[in-house]
């Protein structure tokens, strides 16, 4: 139940982010875009500021979104200790958090794919 609850919390945050990134959602709800991207046209070349993908400075749009998603997933390590460590000696190898179990949740894979 605990892993399901953490998964649902993370997934809810990811679905909210997905909506905030959606042009259709923003138009329907009369919201401003979450990102402001400047388009430069120079010598027949189009550039974006910040870059849409990842870059070396890790300040591109994809970098920012990946950091936000990682922060959502970090909820799994913020829970104060595992409740099964006393009952299952093998569970202590997870260092007292639920990160391994959360990273294996297919529901979260789907949400990350939708955001991407």
Global pTM? Answer: 0.73
The CA distance from 77 to 54, in Å, is 26
For the chain, the structural domain boundaries read 2-115
pLDDT of 116 above 80: yes
> What's the confidence (pLDDT) of residue 74?
85
What tens digit of pLDDT does each residue of 55-89 get? 888 889 999 999 999 999 888 777 766 666 655 55
- Residue 27 has what pLDDT? 93
Q: What's the confidence (pLDDT) of residue 85?
A: 60
Question: What is the reported pLDDT for 5?
Answer: 86
């Amino acid at each position: 139940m605990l892993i399901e609850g953490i998964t649902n919390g993370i997934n809810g945050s990811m679905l909210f982010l997905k909506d905030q990134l959606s042009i259709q959602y923003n138009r329907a709800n009369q919201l401003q875009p979450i990102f402001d991207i400047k388009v430069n046209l120079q010598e027949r070349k189009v550039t974006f500021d910040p870059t849409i993908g990842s870059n070396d400075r890790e300040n591109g749009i994809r970098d920012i979104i990946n950091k936000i998603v990682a922060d959502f997933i970090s909820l799994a390590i913020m829970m104060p200790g595992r409740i099964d460590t006393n009952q299952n000696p093998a569970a202590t190898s997870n260092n007292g958090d639920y990160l391994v179990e959360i990273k294996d949740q297919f529901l979260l894979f789907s949400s990350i794919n939708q955001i991407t």
